[in-house]
Structure 1
């Protein structure tokens, strides 16, 4: 039970306390403990009650609760709350934007105890008639429920990566590395997955099936399986696992067919034969040989999406894609000045420890009061600290930035003189997300046209599997960024991955630089950079088009020239 899992259980307790209208002082004590754990840098795992009580914000009763959670995964008070809560309401509590108080109203007034009942009540118009709800709230609930339903059983790549790596190692040990291959969506590094597929090469299907069933962590489903494939799930996750069986002769053919997307395999060759048909037409000794015989340069698995990759491969011009080691610095990060967990110094020292040359700090701007946005005085204080740290840290550079809210009319936060004081500005939308395409595009366009905007942050505001982003005219936005020389962020947070990789190639065609930014709110957030690299590569991102593959000196010169251009 690490800090993350402990706070998850405490947050559920808070939700249920609010649902049942428990003592507000008790709710605050739990919330205070959560805030302390989230902002602190102390591991709770090895602390006894005395050690827990030494932490500010954690009293005797909460310390006892944490110890219970560590021992059993729950605590008596939560068990009592769960006992008097209809099970279906736990799913309703997961709906974004619908808090415990409103859920209590739905429960008591309409006897709603499940997402199914909630959808029926919305569709019949009953929810809109409740005081404090209305048509707009009812429609947003319907949209949230539809989104949840559409994403049922789906997982983020980052959330299953460790499990899949572990399972892959077990399969390699059982059958030999050269006879096992991950295929399908996972092999192409897709950001959302419904299943993970493997191919195993062996002569004896029965013994293969028997060995797979002996691997820890797998749950066999005989009804869905066949003599040619094993189907089941990861025991700890509702994730489908499919393991195909093939002989040695057809191993490469199977890899090619099962790794490429439908669009990739249906791509026509010069003789109008599809790539997939060609892959089935003869035997190959390697994937490289197969592409060569098809008259193509070798296409990496992550590019096999049926987009631009065949045009590249036909010309033999597939460039070297960005790799993690190309990155020289980390931009768009938050510290304790706003809603970050670690101090500016801690963020900078850890960034340096990871081997990077620079850190771009971009805490929230003043309008984002919910996230501790910086007023002008705090901006000045932070910039003074940055100056002092830059003198102390010698070869490492901290750039002074801000994540400026794009306001409702498209303008940036702060007066012009404050905007001019930063090295760079990440412009992002965080409020009034329920816009139509025309309004959202116009709002973002105005921000792009602002000369102080350096980077467009998480362009659609999406949270994968949680909420759809606001609709944008991507072509118009990308073309505007090209015109005004605005960098577009690929937000590397696994919940965002925004700009979507499907638009990366278009941005590159228009000459727009992209920046892999983690949007880190703590030191561990820096490690998300690898997910930004993965999706950047899917869109064909190269080192020379990645802004933060520049050195600290190159970035400093870029920022300075941009500021001089504004003054002129």
Structure 2
């Protein structure tokens, strides 16, 4: 099944290819607008296509609707294949580099015959790129850094991309008569922020049937290896997927083993050895070289049975990173982790007044449809000109609009008025305290001057948190996974300052950010720093990202008590006001 996300990616690719060809700007924009229209659509995408309602979306005309229908129905689009045929296959690699858009790629290709990342690297190193009009030495240096960063992250994919593809693989097998048990495994099952290969585990009595059916999955580019117990394929999105087939009685051992992490598995095997047992991906059995008679091995039908046999409470996959979970499981001190259903509201969302794609009313309706009880709106401030940031006047107009909407909710829903306020270079804020004090909350974020030295950047953010109007710190490191490194910052000092200033730290749930990183949250929790899981939603569909934020929070050992948006509205109001006295 072709997903909405894959269709959006296709439309964006067509737009880029048309720009490379030098096509009419209106034609290019038509595909971009169609992609945006699908991004803001929050209904059932397969039904939208099957019932031929695509043209009802503003931004999608009949010609593009037919192309979408062809792609969704067949998994291919002849028009796209024809466009791709006009350029070298490797040229598309260049779009993966930060700071390189279609216009510059067109110049590089036509002027320097650059058709791949390898060509570009050579042209940067020998000075040809620096000599091009509109490029220069600084651009060449930045491109080399982007190439180096891409190499460092080669073979990695965002959790969101991996999760969507895995769901389609699982759906492919749903209802298959020979599937006894099925699960994802590996880093995806542990909800790591980036994923390598997709690991699928199936228990069956008929391995050949499962293997043959797997290679019929429509999104396979080619089969890399095929055997009775393991088959590897390359998918059209560039990911590799490995299917492992086991017997039903082997499933709990294989699931634990292939979920990992490696260090967690080593600890499990060590506990098995102390009981005179050996543990591998197929069984828990007596250790042949054990000096003492082994303890009796209990019946094991599930992963939970395996952990119990090893004297441990069950460890959920998100915690299996060798960060103390074994000791906590042994002592019966594993936390009850936060769940998506615990969220009563959220903060940090944008509207079409700045760089969002939906109106204030539409965003509120989308949040209500998810069962949330409140929403904190926070459009960009005036210095974020690239995001069409609000002036003081427009911000206060939005506050009034929020008050009018709240009056119509009859207490069943509530919008908190806020702003995502830029932290300026010196640590001051983009709006005066007089303006900010009229809001319910303020998310303070860095959006410019990202390359400051570590101490200067740390001091900048601490000064912002010292302002009593600042409620929470937004995406603290500014990272964009697989594309932009975090700014240089001392996160330990930031967390200490958050505790001292009673500032909430955001866990930005956008799967490109997942910032602050899960590895820092236990330390923040120990210091009493509250977390707010925020979607940074720029469309109604953006609220779906809350799931990724919850997964990151779970990896950080957070419970519902650690997350402010698990609180009812009356309690949240107290938290938002606590810095202002």
Residue 240 of structure 2 corresponds to residue 224 of structure 1: no
Equivalent runs, 1:7-156 vs 2, <5 Å: 11-12=12-13, 15-16=16-17, 18-19=19-20, 63=61, 65-67=63-65, 69-70=67-68, 85-156=87-158
- TM-score, L = length of structure 2: 0.84
Q: 1:9: how far off? A: 5.6
Matching of residue 328 in structure 1 with residue 344 in structure 2 = yes
Instruction: Determine whether 1:264 maps to 2:280.
Output: no
Q: CA deviation at 1:475?
A: 1.7
In the TM superposition, residue 47 of structure 1 has moved relative to its aligned partner by: 7.3
Quote how far apart the aligned CAs of 1:432 are.
Answer: 2.8
What is the deviation of 1:6?
A: 7.0
TM-superposition CA deviations, 1:480-506 (whole Å, max 9, x none): 211211111111112221112222222
Residue 197 of structure 1 is matched in structure 2 by 199
Indicate which of 416, 431, 438 corresponds to 1:421.
438
User: CA offset at residue 291 of structure 1?
Assistant: 2.2
Query: How far apart are residue 450 of structure 1 and its match?
Result: 2.4
Q: 1:326 to 1:206 in 2, by over 3 A?
A: closer
Tell me how far 1:508 sits from its aligned partner: 1.4
Q: Are residue 317 (structure 1) and residue 333 (structure 2) matched?
A: yes
Q: Distance in 2 between matches of 1:19 and 1:464?
A: 26
Secondary structure at the aligned position of 1:330 is classed as strand
Report the Cα distance in structure 1 between the residues aligned to 2:78 and 2:219, rounded to whole angstroms.
29
Residue 548 (structure 2) pairs with residue 531 (structure 1): yes
SS state at 1:256 partner: helix
- Structure 2: where are the runs of 5+ without partners? 286-296
Which deviates more, 277-286 or 154-163? 277-286
Which residue is equivalent to 2:355? Answer: 339
Q: Which residue of 2 aligns with 1:410?
A: 427
2 CA distance for matches of 1:559 and 1:201? 50
Give the Å deviation of 1:199: 3.0
Which residue matches 1:544?
561
| Shift in Å, 1:323 | 0.8
Q: Which residue of 2 aligns with 1:246?
A: 246
Range 194-203 or range 410-419, more displaced: 194-203
Q: Which residue of 1 aligns with 2:536?
A: 519
Q: Aligned partners of 2:171, 2:31: CA distance in 1, in Å?
A: 41
Most deviating of 376-385 and 170-179: 170-179
Q: Deviations over 1:181-236 (max 9, x none)?
A: 33222221223222222333345654554454566655773x634453222244x4
State the alpha-carbon separation in 1 of the partners of residues 148 and 88 from structure 2. 22
Tell me the residue number matched to 1:477: 494
Hey, what's the Cα distance between the residues in 2 that align with 1:105 and 1:464? 28
TM-score, normalising length: structure 1: 0.85
- Give distance in 1, aligned partners of 2:95 and 2:146: 12
Question: 1:418 is paired with a residue of what secondary structure?
Answer: helix
Larger CA deviation: 446-455 vs 277-286: 277-286
**Secondary structure at the counterpart of residue 445 of structure 1:** helix
1:172-191 to structure 2, matched below 5 A, reads 173-174=175-176, 178-191=180-193
Q: Provide the residue aligned with 2:288 in structure 1.
A: none
Tell me the residue number matched to 1:305. 321
Structure 1: which 5+ runs fail to align? none
Q: How far is 1:82 from its partner?
A: 5.5
C-alpha contact (below 8 Å) 1:86/1:113 kept by paired residues: yes
Tell me by how many angstroms 1:326 deviates: 0.9
Separation in 2 of the partners of 1:112 and 1:173? 48
Q: CA RMSD in A?
A: 3.6
**1:40/1:368 CA distance change after superposition, 3 Å:** farther
Distance 1:118 1:304 in 2: 40
Q: Retained in 1: the 8 A contact 2:348–2:534? A: yes
| Partner SS state of residue 414, structure 1 | coil
Deviation at 1:249, TM superposition (A): 4.2
Note the alpha carbon deviations across 1:216-263, whole angstroms, 9 max, x for none: 655773x634453222244x4332222223344433222222222012
Q: 1:399: which partner in 2?
A: 416
- After alignment, is 263-272 or 152-161 more displaced? 263-272
Aligned residues: 555
- Between the aligned partners of 1:531 and 1:488, the Cα distance in structure 2 is 17
Secondary structure class of the residue paired with 2:578: helix
The Cα of 1:14 is off from its aligned counterpart by 5.1
Question: Which region of structure 1 is more displaced relative to structure 2, 98-107 or 537-546?
Answer: 98-107
2: distance between equivalents of 1:482 and 1:298? Answer: 32
Given that 2:531 and 2:563 are in contact with CA atoms closer than 8 Å, whether structure 1 keeps it comes out as yes
Question: Separation in 2 of the partners of 1:200 and 1:32?
Answer: 41
Aligned ranges 1:269-284 → 2 under 5 Å: 279-280=279-280, 282=285
- Which position in structure 1 is the counterpart of 2:161? 159
Q: Does 1:379 align with 2:395?
A: yes
2:474 maps to 1:457:
yes
Could you tell me which residue of structure 1 aligns to residue 579 of structure 2? 562
